[in-house]
Structures are given as C-alpha cells and as structure tokens.
Structure 1
Amino acid sequence: MDGDRREWRQCLLAGAVFAVCMAGTTLPTPLYGLYQQKFGFSELTVTVVYAVYAFAVIGVLVLAGNASDAVGRRPVLWTGLACAAGSAVCFLCASGLGWLYAGRVLSGFSAGLFTGAATVFVMELAPPGGTSRATFVATAANMGGLGCGPLLAGLLAQYAPWPLYLPFWVHLALVACSAAVLAGLAETVRERRPLSTVRPQRLRLPAQVRPVFGPAAIASFVGFALFGVFTSVSPAFLAESLGIHDPAVSGLVVALAFFASTAGQLAVGRVGVRRSLPLGCAGLLAGLALLAGALLWDLLVLVVLSALVGGVGQGLAFRGALSAVAGASPPHHRAAVISTLFVVAYTGISVPVIGVGVLTGPLGLEGAGLVFIACMAVLVSAAALYLLRRPVPAPAP
C-alpha cells in the first residue's frame, strides 16, 4: 500500500512538471493583441507565429520522438525544461518579431520533447493496474497545462504590472521548481543507450497498432485543428467583433476550452474508449456549429459554449485515441508510437491555422472562420461515420 502511494505521488508530480511545460506553450495567447500594437503586424502574422510552434513540435517528434526510449525519460525532460526556459527568455527580450519566432520555436521544441516522453513517464511511474488512471493524469496534465497558460497570462496582463514581462518571469520560476521536482523522480528506462543511437523516426507503426491508429489519428487531427484555430484567432475575434479587449477575458475563454477537454477526458472512464471516439466527434461537430453561430451573430455566449462543448468533444476523442494507441503498442515502441500520434495532432493544430490566417485578408476574420468550420465539419462527420462502422477496440486493462 505504501509503495502504491509513493508511486502515485511520483506519477502526480511528473504530471505537474508536464503541466508547467505545456502552460508555457500557450502563455502568449492573450498577449498577441499587445504584441500587435507594439510591433504592428497583421492577423496572418499572428497565425504564423502561432503555427511555427507546431512545426517545431513536429520536427522534434520526427527527429527525436523516440529519444527517451534510448537515453531515458529524465534527460529528455530536462532538455525540454531548458527549451521552455529559453522560450521565456526570448519573450522577455523581445524587441521585434524575430524574438517572437525564436520563442515559439523553442516552445515547440519543449512541447515536442515532452509530449511523448512525459506521457509515457507518467504512465510508467504509476503502480501496476493503474494504467487507465495514469493515462488520465497524463492527458489532463497536457490539456490542463495548456489551459493554465492563457489564464495565467491574461490575469497577470490585466491586473498586474508589466503585462509583457511578468507572465514569463512567473513561468521561469515554475520551470525552475519543475527541474527540482524532476530530479527527485525515478528513472523508468532500465536499459539505456547512448544518444548517438537515436535516429530520426520513420512514420511507421507496428502491425498490431495500425488498425487502432487510423481512426484515433483522424479524431486527434480534428480536435487539435479546432483548438489551434480557436486559440490563435479567438482573442482577435473578441476584440474586433465583440469589442472585448480585456486579456483576462480572452485568456479565460481559451482556458475554458482546455479545461473542458480535461472534463471530456475524465468522462472516457464512464463511456468507454469504443464510444468516446464517435461521441467526441459529435461534440466537436456541435462545438463547430456553436462557433459558426458566434461568428454570424457576434454573441459572446456562443463563443463560451463553443469552447465548452468543443472542448469536451476534443477531450473524449483525444483520451480515447491515446488510450487505444497506448494499449495496442508494444512497450519498447510505446513512446515512438505516441509521438507519431502527436505528429498527426500537431499537423492539425498548424496547417488549418495558417489557412485561416491566409483567408483573413480577402474574407475577413469571420469569413475565414466560417470556411474553416465548413471544412472541419465535413472532416469530423466523415471521421464519426468511419468510427461507427469500424469502432476502435477497448485497450487491454
């Protein structure tokens, strides 16, 4: 019993470190309007600055997504924390657009190093039989951390001095605390190999994972695409269409989507993996419909409902996908397979975001948003039909 408690404590501490790193990746979200005023760039530039992060994540996942399988979880996570600290320093030193790009690239490196390694680390630190709960801890730390970033930055920007500096000083302090916590956690990789043995990953999957991976990847792509566009352009929509220039409000709206995702993940334990994926797609479709209504009628309540409903749908779909993929993966390939799932997800969070930014010029923000919603509605509907016809099997307990 004492051993189980100690293992759960380590699991939760690893989840807290995961959350701190992910919070840094969304920290600038409610601050983009202030950066636009300071440096005078367009909405397209905002989406590109946002998407550069996702491309950096994908690069790390492809080049070093399996590094923690070789050198150990803790060395990779320490490197991720160092990148997170470097990102904060770039934003603190920002005197032009180049610093923002550099900060987002380093933030992407930190997320890329953490996503696969930290997810597996949390799961491996849990006691035997705790895989399901540990999966929730990992996915909740991921999404909860993403939600805490804009909430923290928005509150500090609105109610504290130095809005473009204090959020990053606070995050630097949290990163330092996380490094100390990580030093006290047990390494879970027993047979470690030199870093020179790590090779770029080919996006191939073990045969037993492929039937599960396809529908899981579809659901993950759609959910992350919705979150990417919502996170990057919703502050601008609140300011331009609703006249809301309060960073705390825009940060809270974005945070609600991520917190709702955590609630959706928790619900997977009740509805089961087989049903969570099609139900998640239905929630995403409803969230898209509410967002379309918000764009057409300029209603804040519909923006909030879209964040909540779409967030729950994304959480159902994402945890179901992660559970199914992790359960079907051989232990020695698990981190690499999970990293591959995140490559698909982060493609969803990057390419559609830039597409919206490109369309904003000729169509305006609302028109670009409606085009995005129509495309994603077709995709999520097709994914739901596919999953209903070929349901994902429940992972082994």
Structure 2
Amino acid sequence: MCMTGTTLPTPLYGLYQDKFGFSELTVTVVYAVYAFGVIGVLLLAGNVSDTVGRRPVLLWGLGFAAASAVCFLCANGLGWLYAGRLFSGLSAGLFTGAATAYVMDLAPRDGAARATFVATAANMGGLGCGPLLAGLLAQYAGRPLVLPFVVHLALVIGSAAVVLWLPETVRERQALSSARAQRPGLPPQVRPVFVPAAIASFVGFALFGVFTSVSPAFLTESLSVHNHAVTGLIVALAFFASTGGQLAVGTVGLRRSLPLGCVALLLGLALLAGALRWDLLPLIVLSALVGGCGQGLTFRAALSAVAEASPEGRRAAVISTLFVVAYTGISVPVIGVGVLVGPLGLEGAGLAFIACMAVLASVAAVYLLRRPVRENA
C-alpha cells in the first residue's frame, strides 16, 4: 500500500499539465523529486531500523505516505506536487530497506529465498497497482485528481493498523538519538557481489523511470490514447511483468538471472525504440512486458545476492545502499530525458536515452558473464 502511493500520480500527470500549464521537463522533475527523497532517506537513515526497530520506521513511512496524499488533495499549484512527491519519496525510502529486512526477519529459517520474493514482489506489485488504481478511478469514477488520493489515504490508515499488530524483530532496540547517519561503504565480504548487482539494478530502474514518467505523454500525443485506465494499465504491466521475472529467478537460478535479465532489458529497450520510431502501440506493450521481466530478473537476483552476503546486523543498511544506486537510475536519466525533450522532441529524447541505457546494459551483461555471481553468494 505504501509503494502504491508512489506511482499513483503517473496517469494523472497530463491532467496536472492541463490544470497548471507546465512542460514535459517539469513532469520529469516532479517525478524525480520522489527519487531524490528516497535517496536522501536511504543515505541518512537507511540503517535506522537496525537500531530503533522495524515497526517505528514503517509507521513513520506510512505517516509520510499519508502526508503525500494530503498534499495532492490540497494541490492548487506546482509547489504542492513537489511536496507530495517529496513526502512520497521519504515514505518509500523508509520502507525499501526496513520492510525488506522485516519480511526476511519474519521468515522461517529455510524460507529466505521465498521471503526475498515476497518482499520484492510487494515492492513491484505495489508500484504496479498505483497507476492501475489511479487510471481506473480517474476514467470511470469522476473527480480524477481527488478520489485516487482519498482511497490511498484510507489504505494507508488500514496498513498502519496492520503494522501495529506485527511483532518487533529487532531484539536490542536503542533510542533514535543513538542512530547515526549511514556512511557510504559496504562490508568487505559484500563488495564483490554488490558491483554487478548494482549495475544491473541501475539499468532496470532507469528503464522503469523513463517508462513511468514519459510513456503517458507519448501514449497521448503520439498514439492518441486518451483513456486514463489504458494508460495506467500499460504502465502497470511493466511492474507486474517485473514480479513475474522475480518469480522466474527460482527456476533460472541466481547465476544466470543477472546476465539473462540484462539481455531482456536490452530487448525491452529495442522494443521501446521501435514504439517511439514507428508509433506502434503493440510495441510499447511488448516493451513493458519484456523490459519489466528483465528488470524483475535482475532486481530479485541482485537483492538476493546482496542480502545473503550481508552480515545480519548490517542487512538493512546494505540493502538500502543497493536501493540508492537503483533510485539514482530512476531519477537522473529521467531528468536527462526531460531536458532533451525541448531540443529533440519526445521521440528523439527517448531514443537518446535508449542508446545510453543499451550501452550500459551491454557492459553489465559482459561484466556478469566474465565475473558471474555465485549461487551461494
């Protein structure tokens, strides 16, 4: 429910553009403010749940999610959108490391692999539910800039009740004042695993970032798709395909999932390039499915390898560091595309992004083939 709120505005950006009259660059900046909020929290407080406990951190995260919904409900100018996205980023930043570590804490001793899938599927599944929920409500329920956030606010309140019911898993809790900002760095035993995992995660999240922020405008302007539910569904398909890719890791194996995921990301980028070049809706749907599956393969394999290699007391901090890299991928390239839309147009900016990400995905695949992640990482 927390992650659903982070993508809830995706099919609504066109309505906000009409209401407030801002450019495509502003859309990408509004989107990226969320990622900067995530990165800030992960760097400053990514390890705080290891100290003060999982439940307090998740309750703060739900509080920021509620504040985000209120900002969008009150939005009468661009500043409210920035504030709403920032609060959304703060909520996701607190949840990504703490909730993943919490799920793994609560899992039985022989259920680590299943717990990793549950955590990553909740992450990506929630991200997919956001545009789908908002698109359906905006298209068929009326008051498109109000009702989605009212519904999300109610879901957040229900989620807080669930968190209060859960047991705390951090045995030696300390006061918040004893927590220290997380310094960049990794335990030595994690570093060999972290490098390929981080490269693959960056590429996958970059594809998601641009697909989520730019595709609604492309669907409207180039393909004349004006149905908000359809727009939300196409964006949601990428996240749901990611969940399918994560499920496939158990069959494919950790060693093969990272390079195979990079290949799928390359194919997804090629399909997106074709959709932009020839204005074909089937290609953008295929791009969402194939690219999403590749992102799921790389994301779960990366998270599994990093989490299993991490010392128990540093697990949330190391997972948070991986998410810092991933959310850098979901923010910086997005703004780059927004900057290029002016001189190159939406198609040219998208193709320039695809070319850069294709090079990076190729480098990651070659790296992983030469120095594969071990199955027992």
The equivalent residue for 2:234 is 253
SS in 2 for 1:205: coil
The equivalent residue for 1:44 is 25
**For the Cα contact (< 8 Å) 1:68–1:335, is it kept in 2?**
yes
Give the alignment of 1:169-248 within 5 angstroms. Answer: 169-248=150-229
- By how many angstroms is 1:109 displaced? 0.2
**Pair 1:110-2:110 in alignment:** no
**Pair 1:262-2:243 in alignment:** yes
Alpha-carbon distance in structure 1 between the residues aligned to 2:134 and 2:308: 36
**Alignment partner for residue 293 of structure 1, among 267, 274, 278?**
274
Give the alignment of 1:4-15 within 5 angstroms. Answer: none
Ranges in structure 1 where 5+ consecutive residues have no aligned partner: 1-19
What's the Cα RMSD here? Answer: 0.5
**Alignment partner for residue 78 of structure 1, among 59, 63, 70?**
59
Give the alignment of 1:335-354 within 5 angstroms. Answer: 335-354=316-335
**Pair 1:377-2:363 in alignment:** no
The equivalent residue for 1:120 is 101
The equivalent residue for 1:157 is 138
AA aligned to 2:224 is G
- By how many angstroms is 1:348 displaced? 0.2
Alpha-carbon distance in structure 1 between the residues aligned to 2:180 and 2:14: 40
Q: Deviations over 1:232-265 (max 9, x none)?
A: 0000000010011111111000000000000000
**For the Cα contact (< 8 Å) 1:229–1:349, is it kept in 2?**
yes
Task: Give the count of matched residue pairs.
Answer: 377
AA aligned to 1:118 is A
The equivalent residue for 1:30 is 11
Alpha-carbon distance in structure 1 between the residues aligned to 2:359 and 2:4: 31
Q: Between the two proteins, what is the percent identity of the paired residues?
A: 81
Normalising to structure 1: TM-score of the pair? 0.95
- By how many angstroms is 1:67 displaced? 0.5
Ranges in structure 2 where 5+ consecutive residues have no aligned partner: none
- By how many angstroms is 1:395 displaced? 3.5
The equivalent residue for 1:388 is 369
AA aligned to 1:381 is S
The equivalent residue for 1:279 is 260
The equivalent residue for 1:13 is none
**For the Cα contact (< 8 Å) 1:291–1:303, is it kept in 2?**
yes
Q: Deviations over 1:40-73 (max 9, x none)?
A: 0000000000000000100000000000000000
Alpha-carbon distance in structure 1 between the residues aligned to 2:372 and 2:131: 35
- By how many angstroms is 1:327 displaced? 0.5
Normalising to structure 2: TM-score of the pair? 0.99
Alpha-carbon distance in structure 2 between the residues aligned to 1:184 and 1:39: 42
Alpha-carbon distance in structure 1 between the residues aligned to 2:352 and 2:318: 32
- By how many angstroms is 1:203 displaced? 1.2
The equivalent residue for 1:321 is 302
